[in-house]
Amino acid sequence: MLPLALSGALLSTTILTPVLAEEAKKAEEGSAVSLDTVTVYATKSPQSSFEVPAMTSNVDAEAPGTSMSGDISNVLDQTPGVEVQNGPRRNGESVSIRGFDDEAIVTLMDGRRQNFESGHDGRVFVDPSLLKRVEVVKGSSSAIYGGGAIGGVVAYETKDAKDMLEPGQNWGVYTSAGYRSANEEYSPVVSAYGRTGKWDIIGIAALRNSGNIEQGDGNELVSDDNMISGTFKAGYTFNDYNTVKVIYQGLNDDSTEPNNPGGAVGVENPVVDKEIHDNQIGLKYEYDNPANNLLKPKLHLYYNNTRLREADIAGSNAGRVQNRTFETLGFTAENQMTFNPSDTQKHVVTFGSEIYRDAQVGNTTNGGTRPGVPNADATNSGVFVQDEMTFTTEAGKFLIIPAARFDNYRSSDDAGNSQNESKISPKISASYLPNDNLMFFGSVAQAFRAPNLTEIYASGQHFPAIPPMFPANFFTPNPDLRPETVITYEAGMGVKFDGVFDQADKMSLKGSWFLSEGDDFISETVDIFGGTTQFINIPNARLTGFEIDGEYRLHPIRLKTGLSYVEAENTDTGEYLSNSVPLTFLADLGYSVDSIDSIVGVRGRFAAADDKIESSDVETAGYAVWDVYYRWQPSEPALKNLTLDLGVSNILDKEYIRAGSSLVDEGRSYNIRLAYKW
């Protein structure tokens, strides 16, 4: 049964929409706005988000409310089917899609794989100020993205010069300053950008300085954090159709927090001085001649280097320094061909290959291997092909997309253990539009996830003894660990209409039900009495759930809603798995006050109790969290380049814990950002 807050939210949304529509009739009419967005990552080619046979979400990082984000959780809070787990410390945050954690989803940063692995720390080292958008593809995507795309794809895109320049403008400077009260965070940003002749250049530098995090229960989390980050892009176009782009993105973070930022401070989780140094370099080449439908190659060579240094500042290990270095060297090559056999038929064939190598080194001050961080490496390679077939008939429009990918992965550690496996990931998806307002879709896909280096080869002490109850706990390697293999079935439909409650309004609604049958799910087992930790395979598991995404617009009103649920179980024992996600409802209501160049809004996140859990987990209560936001963007010529954002997140100072977390989340925070373009 739904908790009272969630039931009330659903009911109020149902009642509120026609009421707001009636009120909006009295408001000044604005220009028509299309609700349909474009997805790029679902099929690797631009497609209508409404028509594509998949559930996707696009997040505008500069939207009112979102623009004041301090971390990835703030950016993705209103994305259906997505949870940001491990509590409010930014270094511990990890993203899950439909119950699959970040190891089972592909994370991209401007196309670069983010493969950094740690059982405690996150894998996305980016300041939200650098982002322009985030696209989330929900559901199996291994057929084009390879291993690790069981749950989907999260693709972050940083800003380009063209995103900052006004029409007719060749160069500019952007500055902003922000503050969040919950962790006393200051966040200045400066950017310079230009476009001249064949060059397109942008540089952005961002600083964040924050302290302890005030939680909803009145307590504070130890989290002193000083972060500086930036990105530089330089693109050069020659012979009109050839573009080469160099990208650098870097981050240095110096913080004081527990070794495991997702846990409470304790004997087994001491406070450390933590340094993170993340450097990423990419070189891209693209040929795009509109007159050539058979040759549109894209090449991408990149290198990521992430270094973590953790120094114990108290306890029996005071003075100990533990290091972890993770490197990824990757290359992708793709081409796209478009055929039109007839006026009613179109094919977009995308094919390509990918190879990337991960290498990890862990050590401590005594020269030994860092516990739980094996010295190991892995090489993954794959080839794929996909055909987007569009058929226009008297009965409607059909979009059929078969795809398949072959992958091989090899890994080894310095102790002589190794693995060598190959997998084929097929997928077929289809959508049917009998008219422009209605669509049905379905898909069947097989995906896999290769175990990461830590899961296979981890050794050494996990955590110290807790006398007299528990002995010291040690990792046990498992070189026989098999890859997860999941078959996902999905079916859904969508509707979109103009003139629902008013001649000028627009509405869209799209949803799906999915079933994922998994073999050899990878799970961490901690035997606290036996003193061992090992990653093992669960032979059979099942995840079922649904997701609904909706939007309604009638100027000056915009309402976005989302509903999602996942239930995961071990089908051999009938026990729930930690992948379950409680019923969660999202709502974001904005109102444009044109007379004062403003937008005001309120948004909420409402979750039922997280009670379908593993026996070793702790049940958490349901919650309702409200945020309010305001944006002023004056139209007067003297102030037209100014933007003021104000907001209060968790306005009721609610004490709550997200699914997949053990820490009480951030309490009430007063937020502000002032930005100006020169």
Amino acid 613: pLDDT = 84
User: Percent of the chain beyond pLDDT 70?
Assistant: 95
- Would you say 270 and 322 are in contact if contact means Cβ atoms under 8 Å apart? no
Amino acid 25: pLDDT = 40
Average pLDDT, the chain: 91
Amino acid 6: pLDDT = 41
Cα-based torsion angle of the residue sequence 412, 414, 416, 418 in order, rounded to the nearest 10 degrees: -10
Residues in the chain: 678
> In the CATH hierarchy, which top-level class contains the domain 4-677?
mainly beta
Q: What is the pLDDT of residues 599-608, one digit of tens each?
A: 999 999 999 9
Angle at the Cα of 501 (from 499 to 506), degrees rounded to 5?
45
The three-state DSSP-derived secondary structure of 88-116 is CCHHHCEEEECCECHHHEEEEECCEECCC
Domain ranges of the chain: 4-677
Amino acid 457: pLDDT = 92
pLDDT category at 166 given cuts 50, 70, 90 is confident
- Would you say 632 and 597 are in contact if contact means Cβ atoms under 8 Å apart? yes
CA distance 307 to 677: 35
Amino acid 460: pLDDT = 87
CA 150 and chain centroid, separation = 14
- DSSP code, position 171: E
pLDDT category at 17 given cuts 50, 70, 90 is very low
More confident residue, 118 or 178: 178
pLDDT category at 168 given cuts 50, 70, 90 is confident
Average pLDDT for 473-500: 93
pLDDT category at 35 given cuts 50, 70, 90 is low
* Residue 1, C-beta contacts closer than 8 angstroms, at least 6 positions apart: none
Amino acid 353: pLDDT = 98
Average pLDDT for 453-463: 88
Distances (CA, A) of 583 to 5, 7, 79, 183: 12, 11, 14, 29
* Residue 503, C-beta contacts closer than 8 angstroms, at least 6 positions apart: none
Q: Which of 490, 517, 488, 386 is nearest to 431 (CA)?
A: 490
- Would you say 290 and 316 are in contact if contact means Cβ atoms under 8 Å apart? no
Q: Report the predicted TM-score, pTM, of the whole model to 2 decimal places.
A: 0.92
Residue 522 has pLDDT above 60, yes or no: yes
Average pLDDT for 214-225: 95
Secondary structure class of 537 (helix, strand, coil): strand
Other Cβ atoms within 10 Å of 143 Cβ, number? 25
Average pLDDT for 104-110: 96
Residue 214 has pLDDT above 80, yes or no: yes
Amino acid 197: pLDDT = 83
Amino acid 371: pLDDT = 86
CA distance 437 to 623: 35
Average pLDDT for 388-417: 96
pLDDT category at 501 given cuts 50, 70, 90 is confident
Angle at the Cα of 352 (from 346 to 355), degrees rounded to 5?
160
Amino acid 32: pLDDT = 37
Average pLDDT for 108-114: 97
The encoded tokens of residue 494 equal 């969508």
CA distance 138 to 134: 13
Residue 16 has pLDDT above 60, yes or no: no
Average pLDDT for 197-220: 95
pLDDT category at 5 given cuts 50, 70, 90 is very low
Residue 455 has pLDDT above 50, yes or no: yes
Q: What is the pLDDT of residues 83-97, one digit of tens each?
A: 999 999 999 999 999
* Residue 595, C-beta contacts closer than 8 angstroms, at least 6 positions apart: none
Average pLDDT for 251-257: 96
pLDDT category at 376 given cuts 50, 70, 90 is very high
Q: What is the pLDDT of residues 564-601, one digit of tens each?
A: 999 999 999 999 988 999 999 999 999 999 999 999 99
* Residue 26, C-beta contacts closer than 8 angstroms, at least 6 positions apart: none
